[in-house]
Structure 1
Amino acid sequence: MTADEGGAIRSVLTEGVLRITLARPGKANALRREDMTALLDVLERAAATGDVRAVLIDAEGRNFCAGADLVTANAPGAGKPPLGSMIRSLAATAHRLIQTLWDFPAPTVAAVQGRAAALGLNIALATDFVVAADTASFAHPFAQRGFTADSGATYLLPRLIGVARAKRMLIRGTVVPAPQALEWGLIGDVVRAEELPGAAEALAVELAAGPTLVHALTKALVSDHLTSDLPRALAAEARTVELSLRGDDFKEGVRAFLGHRPPVFTGR
């Protein structure tokens, strides 16, 4: 596998470590549908080869990933999507991406700086190890945009930080700074911002040098022994996102986001 030059997703394989870089820094690395598809393509091709012994996901610019690109997805003139379109779209993009990362046979690492929000946060949490800069922050602003969580948020957060803290993030939109995220168990390591690239790469190199078959078997056991399963959680999220995106509160959430003002929700 060689380097993919250009575009919002770049990848290069070096000595068993596949580095995937989110490269849309001017938009806080927010992911469009085509970016998710490109990221999926890289991961699925990597999973099919024995050359990849570890994956490192990092990002250009000040932020890791602000989530899905709501501005592009809801551009004027896009029209009202048909019933069921969100369920189908999530299954093909964001949810498939989270499932692919969750099931990836080699160890995965996310190097997080700045904001990791919504889908961006879930991408990080679906990896095996999150290394964050001490200035990073983590948030799920779904409710503040007027729709329900997706991409594994309601599955991952309660298992990592407990129900009460998960509700703080998912319902109140609490922003969690990196030191607190470490204390909560949301992430595994916090380093100084200038040390982040080296620390994340060193971890990926360490994992790539290890018994990767053992790593894969251990990952499968841990996933199998959780009390619920991710596919059912993803399917339930897709159904509720479909409903919430059709409400007035979602339209108001997007208008407020674009207008840089607090939303005024009506509960409809």
Structure 2
Amino acid sequence: MIAYAFMLPFLILLVMFHTWPVLFGTFLAFNSYNIISPPQWVGLDNFRELFQDEQFWSGLRNSLKYILVVPVIQVISILVALLVNRPLKGIGFFRTAYYVPVVTSFAVVGLIWSWMYQQGGPVNTVLRTLGLASDDRSLLNNPATALLAVMFVTLWKGIGYYMVLYLAGLQNVSQELDDAATIDGATRWQVFWNVTVPGLRPTILVCSLLSTISAIKVFEEIVVMTQGGPAGSTYSVLFYSYSRAFQDFKYGLAAASSIIVALISIVFGLINFRLTRGGRSDA
């Protein structure tokens, strides 16, 4: 009873802010609801309307494109974790520096990067100097570059978070296997690929799951930096749900799109399990 008493506050909050919203949201997906009137059962009508809405498909395509961030952020995070895992002088400063963007509010991050991306800003200046940009238009105002610009901010902000997880995972990699492979004449790359990566597989699974779901559910970056523009080039599927609910007051349609997002997340979760062999460590 004492143990359950300690668990009770958390369980109450879990039911209030997780379990009940999931159940009620699933219920709303099959109803027409606008807050003012009580929910009216419409069956699969919300899903039919959803699949006929080109704006939904546009948002879904952009959210799926956003998944391209996942492998990039995982590779860079592993490399940074290996870099800061060495017992070098002042390494604590570098670990902190890499983690600072993680604890910075996205409202602040979005404003900073919006300024850096603006016409005549630092990013455009560097790109034009290197010959990588033909005009001085803001990257966020160009439909061809807006989504990539927002994805880079997600990448920059998330590296520190996954770096910390990989640092913890590196502590579980057998140092004896590392030393044995080195003594047997294995190169640094061979040790990394055949010892470090298999040992990190459980952490890779967790990090890839978290980053994949975050990519599919991208929202904060869109709201702060682009509001879905320009010309819908950064319009994500979760931003679609938000717009239908809080701008059009079509809560049933918004709930239906959220269910689609959840199902897609489950599919990509299963793919991650398959690619990482269920997170089983071979080291």
What is the TM-score normalised by the length of structure 1? 0.24
What is the TM-score normalised by the length of structure 2? 0.23
Q: Kindly name which structure, 1 or 2, has the bigger radius of gyration based on alpha carbons.
A: 2
Q: Which has the higher strand share?
A: 1
